[in-house]
Structure 1
Amino acid sequence: MTYCKVCSLGSDHPGIVVDEQRVCNVCRLDMVGDLLVNYRYTQEVFERFQHAGRNELGPYDCLFMYSGGKDSTYMLDKFTTEYGKRVLAWTFDVPFESTHAAENIRLAKERIPATFVVDADDDNIKKMMREVFNRPAPRKPGKYLDEKLPCVSCRTFFVIRAILHAHRNRIPYIALCADPQQILTMESNVREIVRGFYTTFGVGLTDELFRGEIEGLLFAEDDELPEIVFPFIAMRHTYDPDAIVAELKAKGLYASSPMETHCTLFPLLNYYSFTHWDCMFYKLNASSHVRAVKRNGGDGARSTFSLKFPGTLDVLEVEGRLKKVTLRIAKGEGTPQEHEAELVAAFRDLGTTETAARFVARSFLDMPAVAADMGIRLS
């Protein structure tokens, strides 16, 4: 495999082409056009949302997808205290949710004046995730973001659940708190989200998962469909994850670190990325950081992603260590003590606190048990 000399993305990474000068298509800005089209559409929807009056069809101006992570907690507080919107804080009770995210949700319910509602569908989301993880190895070269298919599928599942809830209850907008970097690669058009899910999972499984209800979204009138708003589009030049966490903790709304609110499938997401695409789950994000540091003359202070990485990060070296220990855990090799020490060191090198590194390391040790519970095969 050839690695980009700028950002370290490999030539086998889905959607990545490394040229004879050892520079990848992302560093060459070959993908900017498509990304900017999505950015412009997202900006237009956000501006419509900003200027929209009260929803005359119901008691809520927007359905706010609330996960308990720092971004959604920060923005939910802004929506209710500064934006003057009537908010339905909608949480999908993911069966693999972190205990830290659940604690943040509890704190928000005590302190934020929104209406909170919880949705759940454990059986169907687990069925979908089994199908993704247990598929045969995908054919290469793959498409951009293919290494994150399990995570993207999970998120799309509950985004569609949110769309259905908003559609039934005549709520015109859905707020989704992706960070500025995630916004670039996320579909925001409701019909395209539904079409994409059908493409990924087929008509039979899709209709089974959503009980035949989402087909109606494809044929609804435009003014009957909710629009998805990405609030952090307004902070794309000022987004600072450290400042967000500090403000939330000062208000008593956040009691952990971003790494501690990852779902319990995070180790399996890395396992999937390593076994199918030979990269860690956060490779695109880490490489984006490295690219920014080199272009800014060594200044890596600005971040458009929910986690910050050290300015001196050696992506390939940390990735290699993380791959080795992840696959050894999957094969049942080595001892928990050895694995924990290796994982803590790797995540400390990725810039996490000692507490967060130990929390994530222990979730990796639990990976075989979580896989068994989910019915996911570890080869």
Structure 2
Amino acid sequence: MSNLKICNRCVLNENYPGVKISDSQKCSCCTDMFGDTYKNYRAAFKNYQEFKKGIKNFTGKHYALLMLSGGKDSTYLLNELVNKYGINVLGFSVKHPFESEVALNNINSLIQKIPFEHIHLSLNTKVYKKIMQKVFSLKRDDIFSERLPCTVCGYITEIAGVTMAYMHKIPYVVYANDPLQILNTDYNIKKDLENMIKICGKADVYSLFGKDIIDEIIRAEEDELPTIVTPYVAMMDSYNENEIIEKLKAENLYRGDSVQTYCSLVPLLNYYSFSKYNSYFFGHQLAQEVRQGNTDRDFALSYMEMYRKIIMEIAIKEDITEDDMKFIRTVLEKKYGKDNKEKIEYECKSIVNMRNVANALQLNISTNS
């Protein structure tokens, strides 16, 4: 990465798809802070205001379908919507082969503790794996995105949630994206479904969701479809991650942390980003942390280099040595602090398991990919 042009304000380099570095060494994301970021914020704010206004006049069964992942943000949002605002929420989760056990346990615990209906949709595992295998295997020039496998999995979840809300006549689908994910909140179900079909093929999309409902969504007018709401993005100035975790754990509603509730695909997603784009999978989020002054820029750059070594030189190996494990732990200790032993060990296991996840998708991984 030392030969790349790197933004001197954040950490993004010219290898990230869509990122340009100017002569003044500023990336296009830093110089266009009032572009997509502001556009997404305004859309999120508008939808959230309409969501709040409509609550008291709603006469149907469920006012909102909440995308419930078992992570801290969707858990906190569920508790707020149900117990603070008295909204009748349909919780919705999507089962897939790489779901976090910690997240799944959190969801099952919430079902016992909070009065809400919940649907845990099981996808056709064979079709899901076929789609993910295809996406991971696409060449760099086929689809220009360092986050493509995650994006496609996000499309799957979005389409599943919106179609469920549409069938149940639920006016809103609520996502718990935190403000750092603002660039990933430009949801448009018709456009995203079109992209999904373009990438994966209509036959696999039909197999996963059903032909009739997909064709109905394609034919529907925009105002006939549920509106997607992202409250945390709309309220970005008041979002406080530490406060959310503290309140949830005080009420025994949440276990683990953000690392432990990630799906087991994360190391492989990083492999995809590094091998095809020489880019860190969480690069945009880390860049935003640097811009906000929450993470030191020099540390962020150093960490990305060390994590690249972990994924591209250690995790791909069939036999990982004790020295390898020591290096992984040292890097993670620098990021999380030595006291976060449970988080560090969880991520270590996830990294070491990368080859097994790749094998489950019948993917060949190597330094030459």
Q: TM-score, normalised by structure 1?
A: 0.88
Is the 2:318–2:355 Cα contact (8 Å) retained in structure 1? no
Residue in structure 1 matched with residue 328 of structure 2 by the alignment:
343
Which amino acid is 2:256 matched to? S
CA–CA distance in structure 2, aligned partners of residues 22 and 333 of structure 1: 40
Q: CA deviation at 1:147?
A: 1.1
Q: CA deviation at 1:357?
A: 1.4
Give the one of 67, 70, 78 matched to 1:68: 70
Residue in structure 1 matched with residue 365 of structure 2 by the alignment:
378
- Deviations, residues 286-329 of structure 1 (Å, cap 9, x unaligned): 12212222xxxxxx3xxxxxxxxx44751222111111121224
Q: CA deviation at 1:174?
A: 0.7
Q: CA deviation at 1:254?
A: 1.1
CA–CA distance in structure 1, aligned partners of residues 225 and 159 of structure 2: 12
Task: Specify the SS of the correspondent of 1:258.
Answer: coil
Residue in structure 2 matched with residue 297 of structure 1 by the alignment:
none
Residue in structure 1 matched with residue 119 of structure 2 by the alignment:
117
CA–CA distance in structure 1, aligned partners of residues 186 and 281 of structure 2: 20
CA–CA distance in structure 2, aligned partners of residues 314 and 334 of structure 1: 29
Q: CA deviation at 1:153?
A: 1.0
Task: Specify the SS of the correspondent of 2:129.
Answer: helix
CA distance 1:94–1:336, shift in 2 (3 Å): farther
Q: CA deviation at 1:247?
A: 0.8
Residue in structure 1 matched with residue 341 of structure 2 by the alignment:
354
CA–CA distance in structure 2, aligned partners of residues 39 and 339 of structure 1: 42
Residue in structure 2 matched with residue 190 of structure 1 by the alignment:
189
CA–CA distance in structure 2, aligned partners of residues 54 and 84 of structure 1: 13
Which amino acid is 1:39 matched to? Y
Residue in structure 2 matched with residue 306 of structure 1 by the alignment:
none
CA–CA distance in structure 2, aligned partners of residues 39 and 102 of structure 1: 30
Which amino acid is 1:274 matched to? F
Task: Specify the SS of the correspondent of 2:183.
Answer: helix
Which amino acid is 1:48 matched to? E
Residue in structure 2 matched with residue 169 of structure 1 by the alignment:
168
CA–CA distance in structure 1, aligned partners of residues 157 and 36 of structure 2: 25
- Deviations, residues 124-168 of structure 1 (Å, cap 9, x unaligned): 22221111111223369x4xxx11111111111011011111111
Is the 2:36–2:183 Cα contact (8 Å) retained in structure 1? no
CA–CA distance in structure 2, aligned partners of residues 101 and 196 of structure 1: 28
- 105-114 or 215-224, larger mean C-alpha shift: 215-224
Q: CA deviation at 1:261?
A: 0.8
CA–CA distance in structure 1, aligned partners of residues 312 and 302 of structure 2: 16
Is the 1:54–1:61 Cα contact (8 Å) retained in structure 2? no
- Deviations, residues 104-124 of structure 1 (Å, cap 9, x unaligned): 112211211111221011222
Quick check: 1:85 aligned with 2:66?
Answer: no
Is the 1:134–1:377 Cα contact (8 Å) retained in structure 2? no
Query: Cα RMSD between the aligned structures?
Result: 2.0
CA–CA distance in structure 2, aligned partners of residues 354 and 244 of structure 1: 21
Is the 2:44–2:234 Cα contact (8 Å) retained in structure 1? no
Deviating 4+ runs (over 6 angstroms):
none
CA–CA distance in structure 2, aligned partners of residues 123 and 260 of structure 1: 25
CA–CA distance in structure 2, aligned partners of residues 118 and 96 of structure 1: 15
Which amino acid is 2:299 matched to? D
Which amino acid is 2:346 matched to? F
- Deviations, residues 54-98 of structure 1 (Å, cap 9, x unaligned): 544x42111111110000000000010112211111111122111
Residue in structure 2 matched with residue 286 of structure 1 by the alignment:
286
Q: CA deviation at 1:346?
A: 1.8
CA–CA distance in structure 1, aligned partners of residues 139 and 246 of structure 2: 43
Matches within 5 A, 1:1-379: 1-29=4-32, 32-52=34-54, 53=56, 55-56=58-59, 58-121=60-123, 122-138=125-141, 142=144, 146-212=145-211, 213-293=213-293, 300=294, 310-311=295-296, 314-332=299-317, 335-351=320-336, 353-379=340-366
Is the 1:133–1:150 Cα contact (8 Å) retained in structure 2? yes
Q: CA deviation at 1:185?
A: 2.8
CA distance 1:41–1:287, shift in 2 (3 Å): closer
Tell me the number of residue pairs that the alignment of Structure 1 and Structure 2 aligns. Answer: 358
CA–CA distance in structure 2, aligned partners of residues 287 and 35 of structure 1: 13
Identity, % of aligned pairs? 30
Q: CA deviation at 1:241?
A: 1.1
Is the 1:177–1:230 Cα contact (8 Å) retained in structure 2? yes
Q: CA deviation at 1:334?
A: 5.6
Which amino acid is 1:318 matched to? Y
CA distance 1:164–1:51, shift in 2 (3 Å): same
Which amino acid is 1:192 matched to? K
Task: Specify the SS of the correspondent of 2:336.
Answer: coil
Q: TM-score, normalised by structure 2?
A: 0.91
CA–CA distance in structure 2, aligned partners of residues 177 and 324 of structure 1: 32
Q: Which runs of 5+ in 1 are unaligned?
A: 294-299, 301-309
Is the 1:371–1:377 Cα contact (8 Å) retained in structure 2? yes
Is the 1:248–1:254 Cα contact (8 Å) retained in structure 2? yes
Which amino acid is 1:35 matched to? T
Is the 1:91–1:118 Cα contact (8 Å) retained in structure 2? yes
